[in-house]
Each structure stands twice: as structure tokens, then as C-alpha cells.
Amino acid sequence: MAVCLRTSRAIINSLQSKVGLLSMISQSSCWSSLTHHREPPFSSLKAQNVRDPDANFCDKATLYSSRRFESVKTEKQFNSPDDVDHYQILDFPGGKVAFTSEMRFISESPVERAHCYRVLDNDGQLILCSKFKKVSEEMAIKMYSDMVTLQTMDAFFYEAQRQGRISFYATTIGEEAINIASAAALTIDDLVFPQYREPGVLLWRGFTLKEFANQCFGNKADNGKGRQMPIHYGSNKHNYFTVAATIATQLPHAVGAAYSLKMDRRNACVITYFGDGGTSEGDFHAALNLAAVREVPVIFFCRNNGWAISTPTTDQFRSDGVVVKGRGYGIRSIRVDGNDALAIYSSVHAAREMAISEQRPILIEALTYRVGHHSTSDDSTKYRPVDEIEWWRSARDPVARFRKWIESNGWWCSEAESELRNSVKTQLLQAIQEAEKIEKSPLAELFTDVYDVPPSNLSEQEKLLRETIRRHPQDYPQDVPI
């Protein structure tokens, strides 16, 4: 028995010596272990060059590789031979994990829901001790003006569709703050991968009302040459990738673009928008995982507006919304009041700084409400109560809330309000009337801009389409040049 005890102690002493040696090597080598709850890998670089996240890029590459080749070993540290099980630790890739003799499952939900960051209350007053990114008078007025413009544009184009002048439309009513305030916190160099309810981001960047009208009417002045449905905007010069109706497909694309920015050492990030329904798509999970593993500068912005067409969030997931999903993938996350323009602006501004300076993805969940119907093809009163819609329209209107705040600062008045709204209405009427008169793109444009020399199957499709139109002219629009 004494021999066994002496042997055990000798083994323990040997292990302690090896562990100590490994520790010394670890401290003097670039191959040190990096835990999951680690300091940002580039935090030490910030003091050298905050505006240039690509400084010491070779050092970053070393850090990346170190995580991929961490060894798997069991490390034992004892105070005495009787404490073996209690102090056993597994040094596993991603960080050290302590063992426990207690069988304990992680709860499916937290005791308390994740808090929601806000700056303005429902009456547009600053919440006591609130912390936010300051905005100038000029910035605040532009934000408000664009929110009003977006709101008015929605009303005009929605009516145009109801009159049969355009084929489809989807509004952003109730989500104006998300559109404009998030755009205001970005720079023109940041790439935007939208869903289909973010035209305000494009508006902020300088896309004109005429350009919006040209796209909705699908005329030859449209950037997409009339190939897309209305509201499927895109603009290369504004770094706004063309909208795709397929849900969540933009998310992996955004991660790839962010990885490209990282490789090119650009001082910019990517932002991609999606709804709560998009989190049920596999692309959402694949995108978050890839972004976290590759540590790319991308902001995932979820507009949790309660409804994915007629599907409520209660049928979408059982988690505490979307914000908690970030932790599962190792992504820093925040929940924000989506109807508070200052909270949105501040959170996106901070997210952008972290994404670029620390080369990491960020997840933002904005709690809001889709006041309008999902689209002109939907009647939301069939699946949600009218009084609920009206309460959000009146009590939680983000445009009215922000107006109260700028008025309280002495930056806005009734005269300015009247002048703005009259001006926007005049511009919209003119844009719609002009877009409606512009000729449609010729039929041949359906088959261009993909191949230098069209393949035989595409030429055959064009030939078949022309023959079909010739046989059934009554089924095709007369204003499209053949």
C-alpha cells in the first residue's frame, strides 16, 4: 500500500513538473491557448492604430492558426491526492473546461429575459442616465427628414399599387427608425446586404425618389432593367446589394463579403438585415457560425417585428428571441428598442467600431412591430387583432417619438414639419408621373448581362418566348418593346 502511494505521488510530481514546463512554453510562444471567453484578439492593437484594423496583419494570422492547432490534453492540478476528481480540467480546443461530479443540465431558458437597450421613452424624452452616441442638430434633422420621406413614400407607392399602376409593394411602416438610424451609423464604404424592408438605408445613402419610382415601375431607367419585382432595389454606387426575395440567402453572402474586406485590409464592415422568420432558415445558422469562426467584420441586424407574414414568433422559436442565439455561436450580441432612433444609432455605431477594430461579428436584435401588412398581397387583420396594430401605430410610432425629441431640443417646429411634408409629396408625385411615362426595357434585356455569348439553351428560351407572345398577345403587356 505504501509503495502504491509513493508511486502515485511520484506520478503526480512528474505531472506537475510537465504542466509547469508546458505553462512556461505556452507563455513564451505564440501557440498559447486562447479560451472561448478571451480578450478580443486585437485589443492590444487598438492603441497602436484604432482606425487601421489591419495593422500587424501577420500577427493576426498567427493568432488564427494558433486556435486551429491547440492540443487536446487533460491537465490535473492537485492540492492533495484526495482532490484529484474535484480539480480535473480538460484543456479542450476553444478553452479549458472544468469537470464536475454533479449532473446538471443547462436550462432551456434564462430566469430573466435579455434586457432591451433604449434611450428615448415613448414620449420622446431622454431616459435618466441613458448612455448613447451624441448626434448633431444637422444629423438629427436629416434622420428625421428621411424617416418622414420613407413614411410618405410608402403611402404613395402603396396607393399606386392599389390603383393598379405597379404590381407589388411592401411598406416599412413602424420600422422607419431601424432603416434610417442604422444607415446613419454606417459609412458609404460599408457594404449592405438587405432583405426587402430596408429601402430607408438606400434613401439615406442618396438613392433618389426618381430611382425608387423607376424600379417600382420597372422601366428602362431602372438599374435592374425591369427584371426584378418592385421594391427589389439595388445600387452598385451605393454599395447596396440587390434585394433577393428568397429568405436569408443574403446572410452567407454578407459573411463572404466581410471575409473579403478582412483579407483586403479595408477599414469597413458589412451589415446584413433579416427578419425573425429568417432565423428559421439554415442560412442563418450557417452564416453566424462561419462569421464567428472566421472572425469577420459583419453586423447581423435582425428586425424582430413579431410576424413572419402570418407566423408569430411564438411559432418561430422557443428561445428568448434572437439575441440569445448569438452566444451559442460565440457572437457578441445586443437587444435594442427598434422604435428608438437614438438607441438604434448608438448600438449600430458601437457595433461597427467593434466589428472593424476587433475583427468580429456582432448580432443586433431590434424589437419592433410591422404596422403595415406584410405586402400588398397580404391582409394582416386576418391573423392579428386590429386594436393591436393601431396601438403600435399610435403609441409606439418611431417617427413621432423622434420628432418630440428634436422639438424638445429646439431643432424642429410645426412650420418646418409642414414644409417638409409638402415638399416630399410634391417630389413623389413628380417622380411617379415621370417613371410611369418612361418606356419599358425591351424584351431582349431579359437575356443579357450574364453571358458574353448567350448559350444555345438561353437563345432557345428567347425564341420560344417570342413565339408564345406572338400566339397569345392578349396575355402580355403591350408596353414592352418586342
Is pLDDT at 301 greater than 50 in this prediction?
A: yes
pLDDT at 155: 98
Say which of 197, 205, 303, 374 is annotated catalytic: 374
- Whether 111 maps to a domain, the answer reads no
Q: Is 296 exposed, middle or buried (0-12, 13-18, 19+ CB in 10 A)?
A: buried
Mean pLDDT for the chain overall: 86
Say which of 118, 303, 370, 401 is annotated catalytic: 370
pLDDT-derived band of residue 71, with 50, 70 and 90 as boundaries? very low
- Whether 247 maps to a domain, the answer reads yes
- Whether 314 maps to a domain, the answer reads yes
The helix, strand and coil proportions of the chain, stated in percent and rounded to the nearest 5, come to 45, 10, 45
Count of C-beta atoms within a 10 Å radius of residue 157: 27
pLDDT-derived band of residue 95, with 50, 70 and 90 as boundaries? confident
- Between 107 and 24, name the one with better pLDDT: 107
Are both 224 and 290 inside the same structural domain?
A: yes
Are both 373 and 451 inside the same structural domain?
A: no
CA dihedral 341, 345, 351, 357 (to 10 degrees): 180
Residue 253 annotated as catalytic = no
Are both 274 and 167 inside the same structural domain?
A: yes
Are both 169 and 291 inside the same structural domain?
A: yes
Is pLDDT at 44 greater than 60 in this prediction?
A: no
Are both 247 and 371 inside the same structural domain?
A: yes
- Mean pLDDT computed over 152-177: 97
- Whether 295 maps to a domain, the answer reads yes
* Cα–Cα dist 192/270, whole Å: 6
- Mean pLDDT computed over 104-125: 92
Percent of the chain with pLDDT over 70: 82
Is pLDDT at 403 greater than 90 in this prediction?
A: yes
Those residues whose C-beta lies under 8 Å from the C-beta of residue 73, and which sit 6 or more positions away, are: 91
pLDDT at 261: 98
Nearest partner of 168 among 478, 436, 432, 377, judged by Cα: 377
Say which of 113, 265, 383, 466 is annotated catalytic: 383
The domain that contains 186 carries what CATH number? 3.40.50.970
Least confident range from 40-54, 110-124, 462-476: namely 40-54
Are both 430 and 449 inside the same structural domain?
A: no
Count of the separate structural domains present in the chain: 2
Are both 458 and 394 inside the same structural domain?
A: no
- Between 54 and 237, name the one with better pLDDT: 237
pLDDT at 94: 81
pLDDT at 87: 62
Are both 304 and 407 inside the same structural domain?
A: yes
Find the helix or strand (DSSP H, E) in which 462 lies.
helix 456-471
Are both 428 and 449 inside the same structural domain?
A: no
